């Protein structure tokens, strides 16, 4: 199969697309599901950010979902903004009362709806594997971070030995697969290509780790993600 035609999906008449619809269906069970399969991205990012943020600082969570990754930062006094394309995820997050501002935005298409230098921290926990992550999103993340602010993210890196059928697309370092049942497209980025893109756009690397992000629902096999913290240069 040739995947070069794979493009971010276009919104339908309701302003959503099947990626967002899939997230909508998962939303009511997301917290139970992630607990059951031992989703560790939120706590990993929180522990890696220790000492790098302060109460009263402002964070933006890209693909905030139900708010699991933002929640520990909120408990420590940060002000939380969140974007997601799934209205149902946003509704559940809103119900938790942790966010100052939530907005429905497709991260593939939008200029981020914020002024320059508003944020101290941009989080993206378990989101980059759902985005082709073209350069505009990284450039936008840099624009809205104050100089010296941080971006903290986890992702499922490209593994050439994976038994899954990911194929190269026409973006350097990106492989993609469409789930035939749900229509959801997921992406695998190489660590090198993702970090190169970030450094090209004004970030410097602080630290990175590989860790077990969750257990496969099918066979309980450990699924390894990378977590990285980079800093916006002045
Ligand atoms: C695996 S969940 C992670 C949620 C949360 N960050 C966490 O750590 O639990 C992925 C989230 O990204 C959102 N998402 C995926 N693609 C998106 C896009 N193109 N624009 C906005 N949000 C997106 C989904 O709706 C979902 O809430």
Residue 46, token pair as written in the block: 């929180």
- Is the shortest distance between the CB of 16 and ligand 1 below 6 Å? no
Predicted confidence (pLDDT) per residue in 14-51, tens digit: 444 588 999 999 999 999 999 999 999 999 999 999 99
Q: In what order do the strands lie in the sheet with 203-215?
A: 101-104, 79-84, 58-62, 119-125, 145-155, 222-232, 203-215
For residue 14, the model assigns a pLDDT of 43
- Is the shortest distance between the CB of 156 and ligand 1 below 6 Å? no
Q: How confident is the model at residue 3 (pLDDT cuts 50, 70, 90)?
A: very low
Predicted confidence (pLDDT) per residue in 41-57, tens digit: 999 999 999 999 999 99
Residue 170, token pair as written in the block: 């026409």
Delimit the domains of the chain by residue range.
19-232
Predicted confidence (pLDDT) per residue in 87-132, tens digit: 999 999 999 999 999 999 999 987 999 999 999 999 999 999 899 8
Mean pLDDT check: name the lowest of 44-48, 71-75, 106-110, 154-158: 106-110
- The sign one gets for the Cα dihedral 181, 185, 186, 187 is positive
For residue 227, the model assigns a pLDDT of 98
For residue 183, the model assigns a pLDDT of 77
* In CATH, 19-232 is 3.40.50.150: yes
For range 75-96, the mean pLDDT: 98
- C-alpha of residue 27 to centroid of ligand 1, in Å: 10
Residue 232's Cα: distance from chain center in Å?
Answer: 18
Angstrom distance (rounded) from CA 161 to CA 163: 6
* SS3 at position 45: helix
For residue 134, the model assigns a pLDDT of 80
DSSP H helix total and E strand total for the chain: 6, 10
Predicted confidence (pLDDT) per residue in 166-196, tens digit: 888 877 778 888 887 777 888 989 999 999 9
What's the pTM?
0.92
Cβ neighbors of 91 (< 8 A, separation 6 or more) are 27
- What φ, ψ does residue 233 adopt, rounded to 5°? -75, 160
Q: DSSP string spanning 143-182?
A: HHEEEEEEEEEEE----TT-SS--EE-SSTTEEEEE-TTT
Angstrom distance (rounded) from CA 169 to CA 5: 8
For range 130-157, the mean pLDDT: 94
* SS3 at position 226: strand
- Is the shortest distance between the CB of 152 and ligand 1 below 6 Å? no
Angstrom distance (rounded) from CA 108 to CA 4: 17
Residue 137 has pLDDT above 50, yes or no: yes
Query: Which of 40, 97, 95 is closest to 69 using CA atoms?
Result: 40
Return the best residue to mutate from 12, 70, 108, 130 for the ligand 1 pocket (most ligand atoms within 8 A of CB).
130
Q: Is the separation of the CB atoms in 127 and 153 below 8 Å?
A: yes
Per the prediction, the chain carries an average pLDDT of 90
């Amino acid at each position: 199969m040739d995947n070069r035609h794979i493009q971010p999906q276009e919104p339908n008449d309701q302003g959503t697309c099947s990626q967002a619809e899939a997230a909508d269906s998962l939303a009511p069970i997301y917290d139970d599901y992630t607990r059951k399969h031992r989703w560790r991205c939120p706590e990993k990012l929180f522990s890696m950010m220790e000492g790098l943020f302060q109460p009263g600082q402002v964070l933006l969570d890209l693909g905030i979902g139900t708010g699991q990754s933002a929640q520990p930062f909120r408990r420590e006094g940060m002000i939380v903004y969140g974007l997601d394309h799934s209205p149902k995820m946003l509704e559940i997050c809103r119900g938790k009362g942790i966010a100052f501002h939530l907005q429905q935005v497709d991260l593939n298409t939008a200029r981020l709806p914020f002024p320059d230098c508003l944020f101290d921290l941009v989080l993206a926990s378990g989101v980059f594997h759902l985005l082709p992550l073209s350069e505009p999103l990284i450039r936008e993340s840099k624009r809205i971070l104050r100089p010296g602010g941080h971006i903290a993210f986890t992702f499922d890196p490209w593994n050439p030995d994976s038994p899954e059928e990911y194929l190269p697309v026409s973006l350097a370092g990106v492989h993609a697969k469409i789930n035939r049942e749900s229509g959801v497209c997921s992406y695998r980025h190489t660590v090198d290509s993702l970090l190169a893109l970030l450094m090209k756009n004004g970030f410097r690397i602080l630290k990175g780790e590989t860790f077990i992000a969750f257990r496969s629902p099918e066979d309980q096999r450990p699924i390894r993600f990378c977590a990285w913290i980079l800093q916006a240069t002045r």
